[in-house]
């Protein structure tokens, strides 16, 4: 049995837009844990890693206060929290270890249809409803705009029709919520996506080893999503042209083909998706027997 103190705690949103992606990421890192969505803690069964399921707004403070070692949360929530505690010593907050490839959205002004918007001048003297008062106030201050920030904890998009605000500043991804409320997206003030944050506190060695391993696996999972393994036959004379066509690849492996001096086999990992157009160009350049294979796992 591991000592309680040696176990890593990672805070993940309990129920919301980041939950499935976050849990899937941890599963792909090889973590299996006791399930049960009503639980606050899921105990890792094959690694000393436990998952704490909480509201996303609680994740930055749990990590900053070292109650959790790691957390997965949107940059919008991170930024709102950071502005709340002041920026005197950024390193005492938490470390933002990496950006993740899900939870993409933006914090934008939503303006009622039929109302024009010309940047800062259109904000002056207005009432702006938002759930991100600190980010908005910081933006207004930097722009030198005097406007009233009306704080809403949810359903910000109905504020204009209720007469509580002239416009809103809210998270947008597809824009369908704005459209459904007769608003249009006028300007973005923050681009956001999920991020992995880490405690600012120095962790003991036995924990550090597992944290490093987990971070490396998360990196690997992210890289692998887009990566492809390409195998092809190429005339030696066309190798330079073919290598130049391979998207995002490092030095490929070149192997002789039995009984052929003029042709070789080329194997390469491409860190970007490989489209049909690339295959057609490779063929035109002289490649044959082209195979594109998915990559299951990767450790750089
Ligand atoms: P909680 O109950 O955990 O407080 P919540 O209602 O604050 O949940 P969600 O709506 O589940 O949060 O969104 C979680 C995160 O997902 C957001 O903070 C943001 O980073 C990201 N996100 C991605 N797209 C959107 C979107 N269209 N609207 C809101 N959030 C989005
Ligand atoms: Zn929340």
Q: Indicate if ligand 1 lies below 6 Å from the C-beta of 105.
A: yes
Alpha-carbon gap, residue 218 to 33, rounded angstroms: 17
**Residue 17 in contact with ligand 1 by CB distance below 6 A:** yes
33 and 72 Cβ atoms separated by less than 8 Å: no
Q: Whose CA is nearest to atom 8 of ligand 1?
A: 16
- pLDDT computed for residue 36 by the predictor: 64
What's the number of domains the chain is made of? Answer: 3
Q: Which of ligand 1's atoms lies nearest the C-alpha of 174?
A: 27
CATH number at residue 265: 3.30.70.120
Domain-ending residue, one of 224, 239, 264: 224
Instruction: Please give the distance, rounded to the nearest whole angstrom, from the Cα atom of residue 27 to the centre of ligand 2.
Output: 23
- The pLDDT value given to residue 189: 98
Q: Are 241 and 234 in contact (CB under 8 A)?
A: no
Is the domain of 240 the same as that of 250? yes
For residue 3, being part of any structural domain is answered with no
Residue 269 lies in domain: 226-294
pTM: 0.87
Using the 3D structure, point to which of 182, 206, 224 is the last residue of a domain: 224
Supply the pLDDT for residue 94: 87
Taking the C-alpha atoms of residue 282 and residue 288, their distance in angstroms, rounded to an integer, is 8
Are 216 and 75 contained in the same domain?
Answer: yes
Burial class (CB in 10 A: 0-12, 13-18, 19+), 12: buried
User: What local confidence, expressed as pLDDT, does residue 161 receive?
Assistant: 96
**pLDDT value at position 101?**
94
pLDDT at 249: 80
Please give the average pLDDT of every successive group of 10 residues along the chain, which has 300 residues: 72 97 95 80 93 96 95 97 77 84 97 96 97 98 97 96 97 96 98 96 91 93 89 96 88 93 95 88 97 88
Q: What is the pLDDT of residue 2?
A: 45
| Of 192, 212, 245, the domain-final residue | 192
Distance CA 82, CA 60 (A): 8
Q: Which ligand is nearest to the CA of 74?
A: 1
């Amino acid at each position: 049995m591991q000592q309680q103190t040696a176990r890593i705690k990672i805070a993940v949103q309990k129920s919301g837009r980041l939950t499935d992606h976050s849990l899937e990421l941890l599963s792909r890192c090889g973590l299996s844990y006791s399930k049960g969505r009503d639980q606050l803690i899921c105990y890792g069964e094959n690694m000393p890693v436990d998952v704490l399921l909480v509201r996303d707004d609680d994740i930055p403070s749990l990590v900053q206060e070292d109650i959790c070692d790691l957390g997965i949360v949107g940059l919008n929530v991170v930024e709102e929290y950071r502005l709340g505690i002041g920026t005197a010593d950024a390193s005492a907050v938490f470390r933002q270890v990496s950006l993740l490839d899900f939870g993409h959205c933006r914090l934008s002004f939503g303006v009622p249809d039929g109302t024009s918007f010309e940047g800062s001048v259109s904000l002056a003297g207005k009432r702006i409803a938002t759930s991100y008062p600190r980010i908005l106030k910081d933006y207004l201050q930097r722009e030198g705009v005097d406007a009233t920030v009306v704080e809403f904890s949810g359903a910000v998009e109905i504020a204009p029709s209720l007469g509580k605000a002239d416009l809103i500043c809210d998270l947008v991804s597809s824009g369908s919520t704005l459209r459904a409320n007769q608003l249009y997206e006028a300007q973005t003030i923050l681009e956001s996506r999920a991020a992995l944050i880490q405690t600012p506190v120095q962790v003991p060695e036995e924990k550090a080893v597992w944290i490093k391993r987990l971070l490396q696996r998360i990196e690997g999972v992210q890289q692998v999503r887009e990566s492809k393994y390409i195998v092809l036959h190429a005339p030696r004379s066309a190798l330079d042209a073919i290598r130049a066509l391979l998207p995002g690849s490092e030095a490929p492996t070149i192997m002789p083909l039995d009984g052929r001096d003029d042709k070789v086999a080329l194997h390469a990992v491409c860190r970007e998706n490989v489209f049909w157009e690339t295959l057609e160009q490779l063929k035109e350049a002289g490649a044959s027997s082209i195979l594109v294979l998915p990559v299951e796992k990767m450790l750089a």
